[in-house]
Amino acid sequence: MKLRIEPVAVDCLMLRLFDSIDETHMPWLLAATQRLRETFGAALIDLVPSYTTLMLHYDLAQLDDDQARTLIHQALHHLQPASAGSGTLHRLPVWYDASVGPELPLLGERSGLGSAGVIERHSQHEYQVFALGFAPGFAFMGLVEPQLASPRLATPRQRVPAGSLGIADRQTAVYPSVSPGGWNLIGRMPIPLFDREQGRSLLQPGDRVRFEPVERGEFLRLGGDDTPFEVQP
C-alpha cells in the first residue's frame, strides 16, 4: 500500500492506496476505512471506498486541509489489513436464462463454454463487493474469470429491468432498479438490493456474494419478474 493524497474540493481529499484492481486490496481498504472513521470522528462527513481509493469528505468548520492530512497519516500509520472474510456473505438466487439475459448465448459462444458453461463458471466464484455507485444499491463486484470478461455494449440500452445481472469487463453487478445500462445481461435476480425507506444498500463494500442458479419456478416464488427482455435494435 502506497498512500497518495490528492485534493478533490476544498473539503474533500482522494486517498489513493493502490494502482491496480485486486481482490487482495480490499482488507486494506476496509481497515483504512475503519481507522479513518475512528480518527476523524464527528469531523468526518462522508467516506466513499472504491477499488483502489477512499474519498474523504470532512467538516471545514472543524478542520483545515493541513489538519485533515495530519489525521490521515495518523490513522494509517502502521495499518494492518482487516481479517479475511470479515464482510457479510450473501447468497443471491439468479435465474440464468436467455429470455432475461440476452447476452448469455453470446458470452457462451465467445468464451467457448456455451451458455451452461458460463452459468457454471459465473456461479462458482465468490465475488468481492468493491464499491457502490451509478445508482442506489448498485454494487460493483469482481473479479470474474478472464474467460467470462466482456466489454460493455457499444451502445448502452435505454432501459434495463430491475434485477438484471450483468458482466462488464471483469466486473459483475445486479441492476437494483430500472435504469439505462450497457452491461452484458446473463440473468435476473429477484431479491431487492436497496431499501428506499432506510436509504441503505443490502450489499456493502467488503461484503462477498455467491450467485446461486435457480429454476424459473423458484425465481417466481421469490418475487422475480420473468417478463422477457426486449432486445432493442
Cell of 26: 480490499
Check if CATH label 3.40.50.620 holds for domain 4-76: no
CA dihedral of 59, 65, 71, 73, whole degrees rounded to 10:
140
For the chain, the structural domain boundaries read 4-76, 89-221
Are 122 and 146 spatial neighbours (Cβ–Cβ below 8 Å)? Answer: no
Average pLDDT over residues 45-58: 91
Looking at residue 19, what DSSP letter applies? Answer: S
Looking at the domain that runs over 89-221, which CATH code has it been given?
2.40.100.10
Collapsed DSSP state (helix, strand, coil) of residue 148: helix
**Residue-wise pLDDT tens digits, 142-201:** 899 999 999 999 999 999 999 999 999 999 999 999 999 999 999 999 999 998 888 889
DSSP-H helix ranges across 87-131: 104-111, 114-124
Average pLDDT over residues 195-220: 92
In this predicted structure, the answer to whether residue 79 has a pLDDT above a threshold of 60 is yes
| Percent of the chain residues past pLDDT 90, beyond the cut | 76
Q: Tell me the pairing of strands 89-94 and 53-58.
A: unpaired
**CA separation for the pair 166, 90 (Å, rounded):** 17
Average pLDDT over residues 20-33: 86
CA dihedral of 211, 216, 222, 226, whole degrees rounded to 10:
100
pTM of the complete model: 0.83
Count the alpha carbons within 13 Å of 185 in the hemisphere toward its beta carbon: 26
Cell of 173: 453487478
* pLDDT confidence tier of residue 233, bands split at 50, 70 and 90: very low
In this predicted structure, the answer to whether residue 92 has a pLDDT above a threshold of 60 is yes
Highest average pLDDT, of 77-86, 126-135, 154-163, 192-201, comes from 154-163
**CA separation for the pair 53, 17 (Å, rounded):** 6
Give first-to-last CA distance, the chain, whole Å. 46
| The predicted structure's pLDDT at residue 76 | 94
Looking at residue 153, what DSSP letter applies? Answer: P
Enclosing H/E stretch for 144: none
Average pLDDT over residues 118-140: 92
Q: Phi, psi (5° rounding) for residue 98? A: -65, -25
| The predicted structure's pLDDT at residue 91 | 97
